[in-house]
Chains A and B, each alone.
Chain A
Amino acid sequence: MDELRELYQEVILDHSRNPRNCRHPGDATCQARGDNPLCGDQITVYLKVDDQGVVTDAAFEGRGCAISMASASMMTDLVKGKTEAAAKDLFERFHQMCTTDDAASAEGTELEKLQVLSGVRDYPMRVKCATLPWHAMSAALAGEEEVTTEK
């Protein structure tokens, strides 16, 4: 049970029960649906990007497990105010944190907030749950309408 509490930390449970930015903004400039065909989970990410390439609003709708819901909730909080490039870069670093043991320390960086999700490293089948909303965000920025975790 203790190791499970490592995965399902209170922060994750809180985000999954009360997800932030879970709505469909009418003024989104791009959106994409992320599908995990292995499990049927779907998340649609909505972004509003201004002329300077800054994400001024981020939101999502969908249903999924605690991990994917919490990840979507935290992601939409974090990318708001970031440039497209910075949002993509954060995804890169987050992905690394979820898949490799020797990822650089997140301390003092914005990655620190996402560290609660890094427990998926020990659950290879669940990494895609954590990254599903990020794949959808990245697809939305690339102008694609849907993306799947199975390429």
Chain B
Amino acid sequence: MSGVAEASAVASPPYDVEKIRRDFPILSRRVHGKPLVFLDSAASAQKPRQVIETVKQVYEEDYANVHRGAYELSARATARYEGARETIRAFLNAEKSSEIIFTRNATEGINLVANSYGGAFLGAGDEVIVSELEHHSNIIPWQLLRDRQGLVLKVVPITDDGEFRLEDLKALITPRTKLVAVAHMSNALGTVLPVREIVRLAHAAGAKVLLDGAQAAAHQRVDVREIGCDFYVFSGHKLYGPSGIGVLYGRQELLQEMPPFMGGGEMIGTVTFEKSTWARLPHKFEAGTPAIAQAIGLGAAIDYVSELGLDRIAAHENALLNYATQQLASIPGLRIYGTAPGKAGVISFDMDCAHAHDLSTVVDRAGVAVRAGHHCAQPLMAKFGVAATARASLGLYNNKADIDALVSALDHVRELFGR
């Protein structure tokens, strides 16, 4: 047994967060004269040098439009762009790279499914189920569709701890339920939803499942075939990649039957004024020149996190989350929102002496970046009876010193506002 342990220790060196931090140039800058303490990765993550260099190198050496030219540079750009698609396929363990659609972000992926799949296959009286903890990006597209096509939008309530309970979903599913669209992980609370069980319940009722992986993809390994979902979306910028690029995974048989979302170049087979035909997957859903360098940059970001190992990143972040939760909970007058078992790297909180914005302004002066606001989840905030909370969210580069800096900055808040 000890031989096995030693062997795995060699294969997997300890998680050296200080070394990892040196990959992120921005972490060495100062803010208001203080070292930057970045605790807002749930809004957008910082980028490692490997991603920055890749994007720069694409523009300096391999840039041309993709799927158009017959010349060398276009061939190279196309190969790298399609290479990134294959990297993403492997990352999600999808069966085929044609199931990977490049979008601008997770929001666009959800809108694509709502408009294309929803537009073609959902009708009056059909039910779409979301949860109370959704980001606005997984609420509004379904509301728009509901108002256009007469769907019924149902909402799974969340417990006071921020937990999603399967029985609450079960109670809402009927024979008219056609789609369950929920977050894999809550951006506001950190709750991780039981997605395999959600898929099982939905599929048993004949409903499809879309998962919003905008938060989850950066914090845990995602295997779309193991989960069994029909659609999975995420954004590149929360996964240490560039902004302006995101991914929609869809099962091929569904994507095949779905009409195009946007029309334009690249998505066509042949065009006449009378009738046009569509390109094969994935290009049918990629109208217009895509975000070429960003897609290749996302591939580099996925290579980066894959090399570190999503499981090791998750272990590091969870240990840090426990430490942060303990430290924050010991501050008098501080309340944490969302304590579901198995939650991941997000802590939403407020203090009785100060509003979240005042808190955020004060800690910013100590170099600490936390989000203050409704986190694009106003229905969830309303449930908790608050207009805004402060949110500290963790990335693979955060360390205990970051948490200590936050705690010490929160002392300033109490000093200023406490009575």
Contact = CB atoms under 8 A, between A and B. Distances in A.
Interface string A1-37: 1011101100001000100000000000000000000
A3 B365 contact: yes
B49 interface: no
Contacts of B373: 38-40
Contact of B412 (A1, A38, A41): A1
A39 B357 CA distance: 8
B378 interface: yes
Contact of B358 (A3, A40, A63, A65): A65
Contacts of A129: 357
B355 interface: yes
B291 to A, nearest CB: 26
B358 A67 contact: yes
A41 B387 contact: yes
Interface residues of A, number: 22
B130 to A, nearest CB: 20
A76 interface: no
A1 B361 CA distance: 11
B354 A66 contact: yes
B106 to A, nearest CB: 20
Interface string B362-396: 10010000001110001001000001100000000
Interface string A75-105: 0000000000000000000000000000000
A17 B355 CA distance: 11
B323 interface: no
Contact of B361 (A5, A17, A38, A123): A123
Task: Among B372, B387, B415, find the residue whose CB has the most chain A CB atoms closer than 10 A.
Answer: B387
Nearest to B355: A65
B40 to A, nearest CB: 13
A34 B381 CA distance: 18
B121 interface: no
B31 interface: no
B15 interface: no
A125 B387 CA distance: 17
A126 interface: yes
17 contacts: A1-B416, A3-B365, A4-B365, A8-B358, A13-B417, A39-B372, A40-B378, A40-B381, A40-B387, A41-B357, A64-B355, A64-B387, A65-B355, A66-B358, A66-B417, A67-B357, A126-B357
